[in-house]
Amino acid sequence: MFTAFIVQFQTVNCHSSYTFSTLIERLHHYRGFCFLQDDGQPFFAILPKRLLCASTQICQIRQADLSYLDQPLLDADLHAFVNFTANTPPTASPLRFRGGYICFFSYDFVSTQQLSHIDCSNHNRPTALLGEYDIFIQKVDEQWTLYFDASLDDCELLQFLILDLQHPPPMQENIPFQLKHPVQARWTKSDYANAFEQVQDYLHAGDCYQINLTQEFQSVVQSGRLLQLLPELLELSQAPFAGYIAHDDFELLSCSPELFIEFQADRLIRTRPIKGTLPRDKDVEIDQANRQRLAQSEKDQAENLMIVDLLRNDLSVFAETGSVKTPKLFEVESFAQVHHLVSEIQARLKPEINPLKMLLQALPGGSITGAPKIRAMQIIEELESNARGAYCGSLGYFNFDGTGRFNILIRSLQRYGDALSIWAGGGITVASKVDAEYQECLDKVSALLEFINQFTNTSSI
């Protein structure tokens, strides 16, 4: 049983020459390496005390010497992995990672929580990863600092790590990242149009009033790892909820701009759904006109409001009566490539609620399913005909006190073996037009595709 507790951390400052890229180079080979941008408070985590991979049902246990022993997972109940309640006293504020549980849940995994007839147990790739971390490197006041459980102070491997972080080794050359061919849409435009018309049939029949239709873009990795792209992609996207996690032949690199749920002190929670998109433009006047057009779009406001209502309903199941509020509605936020229409919902959890239970039951987020959620997910399963994988799942963390922050996995790249996938979609209502919705998909991933296609091996085309 995993229990909530407060770890006493020691800290060591990294050598001043360490940069984001050199830390990746130094740390990536450690077991359980992952990264979260955490809304401007970036950190790396390594050598988890325990690491659960849901697809293999194996729990990897760190021994005293920081080696690992694979053990069959006897209790598949994830709530036994993270056993805290929302009334556990928070250790500090403002919110940032302070040691705890880093979690990835794919759309395929969380859909099984909602649609019991879906079975993702035959997926070879990880559908969920949960790690308990008491060793992490965080950037605080422009200084990269190693945090570690004080009880590990005499560990030989940790001492080697400290030595390396204080005296950086020379950089090594990596195998370059290359694709065998440019990333290509799995659907043709006519395929998308056919699925769009079927969505319209369901909408007019009254099954749903919004359905998020997604298409997949695919390629094959010839060499290298997605991790090598992280520094450049983070600089390109400026995504506040970016992240990276990997396990064996699986990699997930997300440039997500969307917060799903933030678990704050005093049992406060907030969610910020995105629904409504227009592209940025290099021309300042055109860019401002697009921003204003999105702010005044009745169609996008209607789509956004549908998701706000859905999320208010989702949160109300776990929230104290009367605590669910919507302090921000239809705000335009500008990111590197697009403008988004964003709203915010806040609530206060009931004292007896386990935050992990609440997270799993609230996933997948309504902004990437539609409404009503269950029927929208059934239609998505029918029409998309291919697993979404990581896309529209969530990546984030819980501190040991139950506070934490989770994103929605949009603008994300997934590699399993040599297969690379990127997804994009949008909410469709009866007012939607097929050409505009198709273009919105392209707008959302155009910068990502342009970036990654430059790594295509031209000799193999």
Residues belonging to the active site = 258, 275
Q: Evaluate the CA torsion angle 368, 439, 420, 257 in order and state its sign.
A: negative
Q: Give me the torsion for CA of 104, 389, 276, 188, rounded to 10°.
A: 160
Computed on alpha carbons and rounded to an integer, the radius of gyration of the chain in Å comes to 22
Q: Is the peptide bond before 168 cis (omega within 30 degrees of 0)?
A: no
439 neighbors 190 (Cβ within 8 angstroms) = no
Dihedral sign, Cα of residue 72, residue 51, residue 357, residue 252: negative
CA 131 – CA 45 distance, rounded (Å) = 10
Contact 41, 96 (CB under 8 A): yes
Which secondary structure element, helix H or strand E, spans residue 287, and what is its range? helix 284-295
Query: For the residues of 22-58, what is the DSSP string, one character each?
Result: HHHHHHTTSTT-EEE-GGG--EEE-S-SEEEETTTTE
- Nearest to residue 338, comparing CAs of 407, 423, 237? 237
d(CA 13, CA 139): 10
SS3 363: coil
Torsion of CA 422, 427, 433, 434, to 10 degrees: 30
In whole angstroms, how far apart are CA 227 and each of 25, 124, 452?
10, 21, 12
